[in-house]
A and B are shown apart, each in its own frame.
Chain A
């Protein structure tokens, strides 16, 4: 069979076999035979599977890539033809158009809604099933190892080797992540491709490709084999090879006519995978490990066919000073296409060697070695897990708008922020603070541990009392804040912020072990829920649910509330009397519902974070991570009162002592201005210059103006600034109930 569909007879098929079916290339059906790949079927039909370029038929280059069944960048030489397969040629330059078909599910692959992924623990992985791979596998097996061979020709395409080593494989069944003790890369050698004018023509084959075609009974028409770099390749109007110019012994150009060109220029190690890692557990064997002579420095034409980088492009970046291999790569985008330098690397090394005078090592290859769909790449990956309070469904029933905050889903508001605010300020409200970090520490050395951990005094906290504390790192910068509650002489309960809770246990445990002190630690963050009962009527609500004498400010005790065992902590973040009820997670819903029911007559409403953030801002309370920065010291946030510099030691003390005599150019200040409040993050100006930014802002319903916290990072610190084009006054917080009478009421 001879097909002249593209205007040029290219092949002759010497087989009596009958076709196995038809595939469709650019809407044109073509027949294929059993065992054909898409590329072979195209060649058999007298076509190029893509728009042009030398074909290796070994999966090395990107010159046969096409859109196969809607997935772009598929190597057609490694894709088995099957009836009905739809192939579209990609544009010669640029990327295929994005497929904007809505995915069937969260993954973007148009082929499968969900890509299966398996994690497989393996002993020895051999990449490549050729002669060297088989030999390596045999040896490893003889040494007592369990060996898994991954061969692209069997459909197991290794696309990357990561630390571990972890071998990522694309298979017809999905993605496979092999976690191996040892990886042997035996990927063999690839054919060198021509780097000259006209090398993107159709009808050019490497020697290996020509051998593959012969095995599939395809005889190339009027084929000519060259064994040295052509001067240029000549093509007809349809882009098919019509001749090749080579240099004779005297250096003269010689034109030879041909319809197919076979280039036999030597080999290069197929070392892309081995260049991804320098782990000892990854070895490279066989032809892939051999050092092949570099080809002559290219003089013209396209050198990197994936990115269409020419010799002129390389010269351009070289002349601009990019005089190292890695720099040339980045400046010219050389080797950044689908073959990832797997084919063109020798030419780049040859180019740099010619210009620089020494041969550079190849650049590190980055996984992945070829295009994956987003679905394949993300298979097995999970989004962050945001934890749910046991009251999550209760919040939804109450119309809460939930948002992610500090690693948790939390109620942002219940649809009536102002109503929530006034419930706290004038009646009673519930807030879900289950997300707070909670930790029990116990032991003979517990006081010593806490004295060293915290900058406050701890030893003088009486049993049944609690104290607000900062947590500093070794540099004296704020890590977190919370409460210390003393339960006995040798036992305390610590609380941390929601965002700091996950870090807190590591921090405390690490220090305890570092100091070698005797102290047990139990993180109860996810075992205990917590409800904050807050507002001027909070005490009354507690009495109505069985707490005869609610604790006084900064007291705490264990007591049953509405039949639920609770640890009641009296404190205040909202500025009103507040009782945190810490209780077992599985009793949270009943406690919440009872409090809501009993509080109805008192005007109870739940409040979300939106109202809470405003109320705490009226009190000037900082939120760690929102109002603080990574290098915020107690002085910078105006909380030196929470640090006892006279203590013999605490984490961060030495750093604070060093900076204490030094001036500080950054401070967190309070501000007030006429409403509306500027957005958080708004720049703060002074004399027309940005001197800082707003970290928190709130239109205070009670005060009738905007209150803010914000950073000023330039001295002298001014008394007035400009925010949002308006004048704001620097004003020391708290802005509300400065004496704290309401919190203590």
Chain B
């Protein structure tokens, strides 16, 4: 990838609850709910939405864990950038449907790639690995 990619801190909320309770949640408008497991959602803001200002997340599970999650950095990629990253650094097939969350190693670093409906994508990586990721992708 010729250009230097610059990741930025991503504010997020993390919700861990029973899968059935997760299924029933209507996520606030202006957010993207990344279902990283049946019982686990990483909620991020779309566009200008400040996810930290959203406090009215209700999940029908009294033992649900709902907390801020400040451990992510991300970058929006164009479809062309996704293509070049996919070819060079992803060893697994990207799912064909859109939108979709793909998870796996990218450049040998655990990553999440949210492929949006319009072809753009959000690449998320733990902030503790973001410097290494930037170096490997650039």
Chain A residues with CB under 8 Å of chain B are 117-119, 121, 177, 179, 380, 382, 385-390, 392, 408, 434, 440, 442-444, 446, 490-491, 518, 520-522, 524, 526-528, 584-587
Tell me the smallest distance from the CB of B106 to a CB of chain A, in Å. 10
- Give the number of chain B interface residues (Cβ < 8 Å): 31
Task: Find out whether the CB atom of B87 lies under 8 angstroms from the CB atom of A119.
Answer: yes
Give the nearest-CB partner of B86 in chain A. Answer: A119
Task: Find out whether the CB atom of A522 lies under 8 angstroms from the CB atom of B91.
Answer: no
> Within the complex, which residue of B40, B65, B71 is in contact with A442, where a contact is CB–CB below 8 Å?
B65
Given the complex of chains A and B, what is the CA–CA distance between A526 and B93 in angstroms?
27
Given the complex of chains A and B, what is the CA–CA distance between A380 and B72 in angstroms?
25
B43 within 8 Å of A by Cβ? no
Tell me the smallest distance from the CB of A54 to a CB of chain B, in Å. 40
Tell me the smallest distance from the CB of A490 to a CB of chain B, in Å. 6
Tell me the smallest distance from the CB of A528 to a CB of chain B, in Å. 7
Task: Find out whether the CB atom of A520 lies under 8 angstroms from the CB atom of B70.
Answer: no
> Within the complex, which residue of A382, A386, A585 is in contact with B127, where a contact is CB–CB below 8 Å?
A585
Residues of B within 8 A of A444 (CB): 63
Given the complex of chains A and B, what is the CA–CA distance between A585 and B9 in angstroms?
10
Given the complex of chains A and B, what is the CA–CA distance between A527 and B128 in angstroms?
9
Residues of B within 8 A of A387 (CB): 126, 128-129, 132
Residues of A within 8 A of B39 (CB): 520
Chain B 28-54 per-residue mask, 1 if CB under 8 angstroms from chain A, else 0: 000000000001100000000000000
Task: Find out whether the CB atom of A526 lies under 8 angstroms from the CB atom of B128.
Answer: yes
Task: Find out whether the CB atom of A522 lies under 8 angstroms from the CB atom of B14.
Answer: yes
Task: Find out whether the CB atom of A388 lies under 8 angstroms from the CB atom of B128.
Answer: yes
Give the nearest-CB partner of B132 in chain A. Answer: A385
Residues of B within 8 A of A518 (CB): 63
Chain B residues with CB under 8 Å of chain A are 9, 14, 16-17, 39-40, 63-65, 67-72, 87-88, 90-93, 107-109, 126-129, 131-132, 136
Tell me the smallest distance from the CB of B18 to a CB of chain A, in Å. 8
Residues of B within 8 A of A390 (CB): 127-128
Tell me the smallest distance from the CB of A512 to a CB of chain B, in Å. 11
Q: Contacts A118-B88, A388-B131, A527-B14 hold; do A522 and B70 have CB atoms under 8 A apart?
A: no
Residues of B within 8 A of A528 (CB): 70-71
Tell me the smallest distance from the CB of A29 to a CB of chain B, in Å. 38
Tell me the smallest distance from the CB of A312 to a CB of chain B, in Å. 47
List 12 A-B residue pairs with CB atoms under 8 Å apart, sorted by A's residue number.
A117-B88, A119-B90, A518-B63, A520-B16, A522-B14, A526-B126, A526-B127, A527-B70, A528-B71, A585-B70, A585-B128, A586-B9
Nearest first, the 10 A-B pairs at minimum CB distance are A527-B71, A584-B70, A382-B108, A387-B128, A526-B126, A121-B93, A526-B71, A443-B63, A520-B16, A119-B91
Tell me the smallest distance from the CB of A265 to a CB of chain B, in Å. 43
16 more A-B residue pairs beyond the given contacts A382-B136, A385-B132, A522-B40, with a C-beta to C-beta distance below 8 A: A118-B88, A119-B90, A119-B91, A121-B92, A177-B91, A382-B108, A387-B128, A390-B127, A390-B128, A520-B63, A521-B16, A522-B67, A524-B69, A527-B69, A527-B71, A528-B71
> Within the complex, which residue of A179, A392, A440, A526 is in contact with B91, where a contact is CB–CB below 8 Å?
A179
Max count, chain A CB within 10 A of own CB: residue among B9, B90, B91: B91
Residues of B within 8 A of A119 (CB): 87, 90-91
Task: Find out whether the CB atom of B127 lies under 8 angstroms from the CB atom of A586.
Answer: yes
Max count, chain B CB within 10 A of own CB: residue among A177, A382, A389, A520: A520
Task: Find out whether the CB atom of B70 lies under 8 angstroms from the CB atom of A587.
Answer: yes
Given the complex of chains A and B, what is the CA–CA distance between A203 and B93 in angstroms?
50
Task: Find out whether the CB atom of A385 lies under 8 angstroms from the CB atom of B63.
Answer: no
Tell me the smallest distance from the CB of B62 to a CB of chain A, in Å. 8
Task: Find out whether the CB atom of B69 lies under 8 angstroms from the CB atom of A385.
Answer: no
Give the nearest-CB partner of A519 in chain B. Answer: B63
Residues of B within 8 A of A522 (CB): 14, 16, 40, 65, 67
Tell me the smallest distance from the CB of B86 to a CB of chain A, in Å. 9
Given the complex of chains A and B, what is the CA–CA distance between A434 and B128 in angstroms?
10
Given the complex of chains A and B, what is the CA–CA distance between A520 and B21 in angstroms?
13
Tell me the smallest distance from the CB of B39 to a CB of chain A, in Å. 7
Q: Contacts A388-B131, A584-B68 hold; do A382 and B107 have CB atoms under 8 A apart?
A: yes
Give the nearest-CB partner of B40 in chain A. Answer: A522
Residues of B within 8 A of A585 (CB): 70-71, 127-128
Residues of A within 8 A of B70 (CB): 527-528, 584-587
Tell me the smallest distance from the CB of B11 to a CB of chain A, in Å. 8
Task: Find out whether the CB atom of A388 lies under 8 angstroms from the CB atom of B132.
Answer: yes
Given the complex of chains A and B, what is the CA–CA distance between A714 and B71 in angstroms?
48
Residues of B within 8 A of A121 (CB): 92-93
Given the complex of chains A and B, what is the CA–CA distance between A385 and B89 in angstroms?
14
Tell me the smallest distance from the CB of A103 to a CB of chain B, in Å. 18
Given the complex of chains A and B, what is the CA–CA distance between A528 and B68 in angstroms?
10
Q: Contacts A179-B91, A390-B127, A526-B128 hold; do A442 and B63 have CB atoms under 8 A apart?
A: yes
Residues of A within 8 A of B64 (CB): 442, 520
Tell me the smallest distance from the CB of A526 to a CB of chain B, in Å. 4
> Within the complex, which residue of A118, A385, A491, A524 is in contact with B87, where a contact is CB–CB below 8 Å?
A118
Residues of A within 8 A of B71 (CB): 524, 526-528, 585
Task: Find out whether the CB atom of B108 lies under 8 angstroms from the CB atom of A440.
Answer: no
Residues of A within 8 A of B72 (CB): 527
Residues of B within 8 A of A521 (CB): 16
Residues of A within 8 A of B87 (CB): 118-119
Max count, chain B CB within 10 A of own CB: residue among A118, A380, A526, A584: A526
Residues of B within 8 A of A490 (CB): 63
Residues of A within 8 A of B136 (CB): 382
Residues of A within 8 A of B90 (CB): 119
Give the nearest-CB partner of A488 in chain B. Answer: B63
Given the complex of chains A and B, what is the CA–CA distance between A585 and B64 in angstroms?
22
Residues of A within 8 A of B129 (CB): 385, 387-388, 526
Residues of B within 8 A of A440 (CB): 16, 65, 67
Given the complex of chains A and B, what is the CA–CA distance between A233 and B129 in angstroms?
64
Tell me the smallest distance from the CB of A440 to a CB of chain B, in Å. 5
Tell me the smallest distance from the CB of A409 to a CB of chain B, in Å. 10
Give the nearest-CB partner of A121 in chain B. Answer: B93
Given the complex of chains A and B, what is the CA–CA distance between A53 and B14 in angstroms?
68
Tell me the smallest distance from the CB of A502 to a CB of chain B, in Å. 10
Tell me the smallest distance from the CB of B65 to a CB of chain A, in Å. 5
Residues of A within 8 A of B131 (CB): 388, 392
Residues of A within 8 A of B69 (CB): 524, 527
Given the complex of chains A and B, what is the CA–CA distance between A388 and B132 in angstroms?
9
Residues of B within 8 A of A117 (CB): 88
Residues of A within 8 A of B126 (CB): 387, 526
Given the complex of chains A and B, what is the CA–CA distance between A520 and B14 in angstroms?
12
Given the complex of chains A and B, what is the CA–CA distance between A448 and B117 in angstroms?
44
Tell me the smallest distance from the CB of B133 to a CB of chain A, in Å. 8
Given the complex of chains A and B, what is the CA–CA distance between A421 and B88 in angstroms?
47
Tell me the smallest distance from the CB of A405 to a CB of chain B, in Å. 14
Tell me the smallest distance from the CB of B88 to a CB of chain A, in Å. 7
Tell me the smallest distance from the CB of A179 to a CB of chain B, in Å. 7
Given the complex of chains A and B, what is the CA–CA distance between A526 and B127 in angstroms?
7
Tell me the smallest distance from the CB of B81 to a CB of chain A, in Å. 16
Max count, chain A CB within 10 A of own CB: residue among B64, B65, B108, B129: B65
Given the complex of chains A and B, what is the CA–CA distance between A491 and B64 in angstroms?
10
Given the complex of chains A and B, what is the CA–CA distance between A444 and B63 in angstroms?
7
Tell me the smallest distance from the CB of A461 to a CB of chain B, in Å. 18
Give the nearest-CB partner of B133 in chain A. Answer: A385
Tell me the smallest distance from the CB of B127 to a CB of chain A, in Å. 5
Max count, chain B CB within 10 A of own CB: residue among A118, A528, A586: A586
Residues of A within 8 A of B108 (CB): 382, 385
> Within the complex, which residue of B9, B65, B93, B107 is in contact with A520, where a contact is CB–CB below 8 Å?
B65
